[in-house]
Amino acid sequence: MQLNLDKLELDTKWILSGKNSFLYFERTETTIDIALEDFNQKENQGKIVIADIQEKGRGSFSKSWHSSPYKDLTFSIILGYKNQFNQSLVDETCYAIKNFLQLYGLESIIKAPNDILIGNKKLAGVLLSKKTFNRLAYQTLSVGININSSVELKNYPFEATSLCLELGKAVERESCLLELINQIDRAIKRQIVQ
């Protein structure tokens, strides 16, 4: 089922708050490319590019990120160029996802540099991407997290799990998204204060 973002109103400090926080695409190759577009970096800093179907998701070291259509969460936060972030934002975001999972009673581990595992199975990944336009380094922070995937995970090239598999029941993606964004927003704010 398609994400229902109309009912989500973010109350965030750095990420754009309110009802216009999202740039939604039902289908895209990757949210990263959209988030790094010159126009979006200049006009939509703080917004979240999100898709229900991501056909060519990317991970670190040119690896691909697989997500199940209409079941998982794949999004990129447009960071702009005013603040230059580094691996410490990825680390903070991984801890934010760990905190999110603890709300469901799940213990996870961070596999450096950017994966979140439950046991030895991958549940989520974080990526900080950069592109230079006219000597300005634009950045985006991307997250892929398996929410309701199940059978599809058997086809992954690595051992993977999902929130649904760990809990034994489907989870509402919108409430997961809201809590994840709140946690990540705090992580971004901490990085800017340092």
Is 9 part of any domain?
A: no
pLDDT at 47: 97
Q: How many beta carbons lie within 10 A of that of residue 1, not counting itself?
A: 8
- Is residue 16 within 8 Å of 79, Cβ to Cβ? no
0.95 surpassed by pTM? no
Give the span between the Cα atoms of 118 and 44, in whole angstroms: 34
Contact between 94 and 114 under an 8 Å Cβ cutoff? The reply is yes
In this predicted structure, what is the pLDDT of residue 110? 97
Domain assignment of residue 125, given as a range = 22-193
Q: Is residue 16 part of a domain?
A: no
Residue 61 lies in a domain: yes
pLDDT value, residue 151: 60
pLDDT at site 159: 85
Tell me the pLDDT of the chain (194 aa) as tens digits. Answer: 899 998 888 999 999 998 889 999 999 999 999 999 999 999 999 999 999 998 865 655 556 667 788 999 999 999 999 999 999 999 999 999 999 999 999 999 999 999 999 998 999 999 999 999 888 899 999 999 999 988 655 555 568 899 999 999 999 999 999 999 999 999 999 998 66
Does 11 map to a domain? no
**Is 7 contained in some domain?**
no
Only one residue has tokens 């229902």, namely: 4
54 and 30 Cβ atoms separated by less than 8 Å = yes
- Work out how many domains the chain is built from and give that number: 1
Give the pLDDT confidence score for residue 138 in this predicted structure. 96
Res 63: pLDDT: 62
Query: Does 41 fall in a domain?
Result: yes
Report the CATH number that the domain containing residue 175 is assigned in CATH.
3.30.930.10
Residue 68: predicted pLDDT: 84
